[in-house]
Structure 1
Amino acid sequence: MLEVRVLTGDDWKLWREVRLAALSEAPYAYGSTYADWVDADEQQWRDRLDAPGFRNVLVLLDGSPAGIATGIPSDEPGVAELISMYVCPAARGHGVGDRLIDEVAAAAAAAGAHTLRLNVTQGNAHAGNLYARNGFHDVTPSPAPGTNGVQYERTMARRLDRAARSTPA
């Protein structure tokens, strides 16, 4: 059974657990590193969760933390961004990613956004397939190098006035 929680600073320990797992397992996929966060104090974690405009979502699978995602407003009017998405390996294939996207998309639409945008590392086929299944399409013709000069990201976007998924879940 999937359960969704919108997190606040009081949930920092749950967020920390899953976020550190994400940064450890898939360091290539995030702008932050494990080293940036492993020694962060409680207030830093709380501040991240309580940042203005952030919607931090945790999905539990049978009562255990299974994945996280954050929706944030962008500098572009009407556009929100999906960031920090991660599904724990044991929870993959159980609809956790779809549910995270649905929750962030619904919150972005409710806040007045017409588009949800994200970046995904080139070669991350599983994530790319998840996003495509949920109606995202590529919006950048050729990805720019990542901050380390090696990683490449592609930008994908989805209109928020369309059905959540292009195929049934």
Structure 2
Amino acid sequence: MTSVEIVRVGPDEWETFRDVRLASLAEAPGAFGASYDDWVHAPESRWRSRLTDVPFTVVAMSDGRGVGVVSGAQADGHVELISMWVAPDDRGTGLAGRLIDAVAEWASSGGHDTYLMVRDDNARALAAYEKAGFVDLGIPDGWPADAPLERRMRRARA
């Protein structure tokens, strides 16, 4: 197996982020709030804005291509882990844990806990988050009856 490097990206690396983000949206369309169609024709300015508005994004690079991505967004006194994805061929390798840890460590360095939302039917993701130290807080009260169920999870700062 080739080595995988975790690289923090910002607005100047928008093309690297774009490529892995579009791959994630195409491969796992039900896992995200956004869709491939929402982003496939987005101009450079929109990609750069995403990487400015969300202050922490890392991409897992292997042989010059993105095989994983995750972001950390600042929220009311905590960090929200968002946009997590690992390419199918790289699942089960520990890469998910490395990406999760990158966000949680960034959050902890700012004195924050890390939270996330994950689809209730995504057993693999739930297991990865629990293995990485997240506690399942359940489905939030008042969850819309017509929306796919999502669980709230929390990892306390180190």
Query: TM-score over 0.5 for the alignment?
Result: yes
Describe the SS at the equivalent of 1:139.
strand
Output aligned runs, 1:156-167, within 5 Å.
Answer: 156-161=153-158
- When the two structures are superposed, what TM-score results if normalisation uses the length of structure 2? 0.91
> Partners of 1:129 and 1:97 in 2: how far apart?
11
Output aligned runs, 1:11-26, within 5 Å.
Answer: 11-26=13-28
> Partners of 2:58 and 2:144 in 1: how far apart?
29
Q: Deviations over 1:123-156 (max 9, x none)?
A: 101100000101111113567248xx24111111
Q: Which residue type is aligned with residue 10 of structure 1?
A: D
Task: Name the % identity.
Answer: 40
Of 26-35 and 57-66, the range deviating more from structure 2: 57-66
Aligned residue number for residue 138 of structure 1 = 136
Aligned residue number for residue 57 of structure 2 = 56
Q: Which of the numbers 139, 146, 149 marks the counterpart of 1:152?
A: 149
Unaligned runs of 5+ in 2: none
Q: Structure 1 residues 9 and 97, CA, compared in 2 at 3 Å: closer, same or farther?
A: same
Aligned residue number for residue 97 of structure 1 = 96
Unaligned runs of 5+ in 1: 162-169
Q: Structure 1 residues 141 and 20, CA, compared in 2 at 3 Å: closer, same or farther?
A: closer
Output aligned runs, 1:17-96, within 5 Å.
Answer: 17-51=19-53, 54-75=55-76, 77=77, 79-96=78-95
- When the two structures are superposed, what TM-score results if normalisation uses the length of structure 1? 0.85
Shift of 1:62: 4.7
Q: Which residue type is aligned with residue 120 of structure 1?
A: V
Is the Cα contact below 8 Å between 1:145 and 1:153 reproduced in 2? no
Q: Structure 1 residues 47 and 141, CA, compared in 2 at 3 Å: closer, same or farther?
A: closer
Q: Which residue type is aligned with residue 148 of structure 2?
A: Q
Cα RMSD of the aligned pairs, angstroms, is 1.7
Q: Alignment length, in residue pairs?
A: 155
> Partners of 1:84 and 1:133 in 2: how far apart?
18
